[in-house]
Structure 1
Amino acid sequence: MKKSAPQKGKSASELIDARIEELGDWRGEMLGRLRALVKEADPEVVEEWKWRGVPVWSHAGIICTGETYKNAVKMTFAKGASLEDPSRLFNASLDGNTRRAIDFHEGDKIDARALKALVRAAVALNRSKAR
């Protein structure tokens, strides 16, 4: 993926759309699918663009990010260490005290039900801390 110039004046959603398009491979498709699942799980989610080009989904605080690497799309849950993960989706960043991540690789299947439950749990945790 080549570096693109800053896109002034564009919304976070437009920047995420552009990232998905510019990837042009399985990573773009994966990021798009993950994004859709986050939105299905929480229709009130807010999309943000932070840290020089990282898609972020928030509701009463950061839920998760969608980072793209050469061999993976990583969903990092900001407070993942505090979330129940009965389906054992978390497979990366397991040794930290706060974050947990899920690395998706080419050809991986997404457990949509479990992922949406995790997103909803993250929103509930954010909302409980916001009070």
Structure 2
Amino acid sequence: MEKTGSQAGKSPSELIDGRIEELGDWRGEMLSRLRALIKEVDPEVAEEWKWRGVPVWEDAGMICTGETYKAVVKLTFAKGAALPDPAGLFNSSLEGNTRRAIDFGEGEEIDEEAFKALVRAAVALNRLKAKR
């Protein structure tokens, strides 16, 4: 697992800022909005830059990653299979026993309350496991 904390002297947060800016389209806007919601839920969240360019949010373990593709912004929750998802946000990577993802397409609305509940649950699960 490659982890690059800084490239050319930049912090992970600065690298994420750069990715959002370089996208310059709806994907950058979506990634920026999702990032803001994560930080709203968990102001202490740590931002990382891993695997040669994937934004990662952590608190007592990995919460989720934010990958951008041509047609979607994919947020993959590391322990998503263990999280309650009453709103049915998870729509990708459903076959595994651990991860779950949400693919956001262009023009899609974010169910902000349901998304924030998922982030809260992921943080709580990480903290619970860290105490053990």
Q: Corresponding residue for 1:56?
A: 56
Q: Corresponding residue for 1:3?
A: none
Query: C-alpha offsets along residues 42-95 of structure 1, whole Å, 9 cap, x if unaligned?
Result: 111000000000000000000000000010000000000000001110000001
Q: Corresponding residue for 1:31?
A: 31
Identity across matched positions, percent: 78
Mapped partners of 1:77, 1:57: distance in 2: 10
Query: Residue 103 of structure 2: SS of its match in structure 1?
Result: strand
Query: Which AA in structure 1 matches 2:115?
Result: L
Query: Which AA in structure 2 matches 1:106?
Result: E
Mapped partners of 2:46, 2:115: distance in 1: 17
Q: Corresponding residue for 2:127?
A: 127
Q: Corresponding residue for 2:91?
A: 91
How many residue pairs match? The answer is: 126
Task: Identify unmatched segments of 5+ residues in structure 2.
Answer: 1-5
Deviation at 1:8, TM superposition (A): 1.5
Query: Residue 93 of structure 2: SS of its match in structure 1?
Result: coil
Q: Corresponding residue for 1:18?
A: 18
CA RMSD of aligned residues (A): 0.9
Query: C-alpha offsets along residues 96-121 of structure 1, whole Å, 9 cap, x if unaligned?
Result: 00000000000000011110010000
Query: C-alpha offsets along residues 1-48 of structure 1, whole Å, 9 cap, x if unaligned?
Result: xxxxx9411000000000000000000000000000000011110000
The TM-score, its normalising length taken from structure 1, stands at 0.94
The TM-score, its normalising length taken from structure 2, stands at 0.94
Mapped partners of 2:42, 2:17: distance in 1: 19
Task: Identify unmatched segments of 5+ residues in structure 1.
Answer: 1-5
